[in-house]
Structures are given as C-alpha cells and as structure tokens.
Amino acid sequence: MSGLATLEARFFRALNAFVEPMARAGCGSPSLAPTGLIAMETTGRRTGLTHRIPVLATLIGDHLLITTIRGNRSQWIKNVRMNPHVRYWLSGRVHEAQALVFIPGKEPPDALELPPLLRGAVAGLHPLAAALGVGFAILEPQ
C-alpha cells in the first residue's frame, strides 16, 4: 500500500470510528430527507469479521442506494461483493438486506427484480458512475 493510500485508509478509519455510532443511533438518517447517513455492517472477505461503517444512502421506496467516492478502493464495496448479505441501521433500527453491487470495470448484477423506478435509476446511474470510477450498491430489504 502506498503512503497516500495508507494515509487515506487511516483518515477514513478515524472518521468512521467517530461517525458510525451516531449513524447507527439514527443521527442524519434518510427519513425526513431522502438522503442521509446509515450504518452498514458487512462481513470481511478475508477475515470473516464484521465491520460497521457509515455510508451515504438515498431512500428510494423501501430500497437504499449507497455510494462511495473511493470506487474499487473502498473496503466495504469489496466485502459486499464477496458477501452481499448486510445489516444496516436506518433511523436507529436494524434491518437485513441483500446488496447488488455496481463497480467500474465489472459486469453489473441483474436488476430486473427491482421496482421500475429503481431499475430506471440504476440504468441511468451505472454508466455515469462507471465513467467517474465510482461504485454504488442497492440494498434490497429482506
């Protein structure tokens, strides 16, 4: 890992440690406004350990669209690609979900089962996100 990548990883680790408990408690949750912070719990792809992180999410019906500006460098997106079952906290309450992960340079998952509005959003967002090198995921509640 380069010096800049190590610095970036340390920065996000410190920021997440501060923000995640607040997001889990519901602070800044997308409820009154459609976009806000949620806490998401993933399973580590190498360790099998659980990790909780705050992520920016937009509520579309009962699904969540979450994104990362870090693209393929984001650890949560790598973890969710390997194990798409996640838990998340929205307005202080825990929910179970399956994630559909869209990342640049990888074949997009089948989104045919998504509601029509969300399918349209994904169809429009995926090419733009890929061009910008940005990854995103859709959380389907279980």
pLDDT at residue 49 greater than cutoff 90: yes
- pTM (2 decimals)? 0.88
Q: What is the 3-state secondary structure (H, E, C) of the chain?
A: CCHHHHHHHHHHHHHHHHHHHHHHHCCCCCCCCCEEEEEEEEECCCCCCEEEEEEEEEEECCEEEEEECCHHHCHHHHHHHHCCEEEEEECCEEEEEEEEEECCCCCCCCCCCCCHHHHHHHHHHHHHHHHHCCEEEEEEEC
17-21, 82-86, 118-122, 129-133, range with greatest mean pLDDT: 82-86
pLDDT value of position 66: 94
- pLDDT band for position 47 (cuts 50, 70, 90): very high
Model confidence pLDDT, tens digit, residues 13-27 = 888 889 999 999 999
- Domain parsing of the chain, residue ranges: 3-141
Answer CATH for 3-141 from 2.60.450.10, 2.30.110.10, 3.30.930.10, 3.40.50.720:
2.30.110.10
Model confidence pLDDT, tens digit, residues 50-109 = 999 999 999 999 999 998 777 667 889 999 999 999 999 999 999 999 999 998 888 888
The residue ranking higher by pLDDT, 111 or 68, is 111
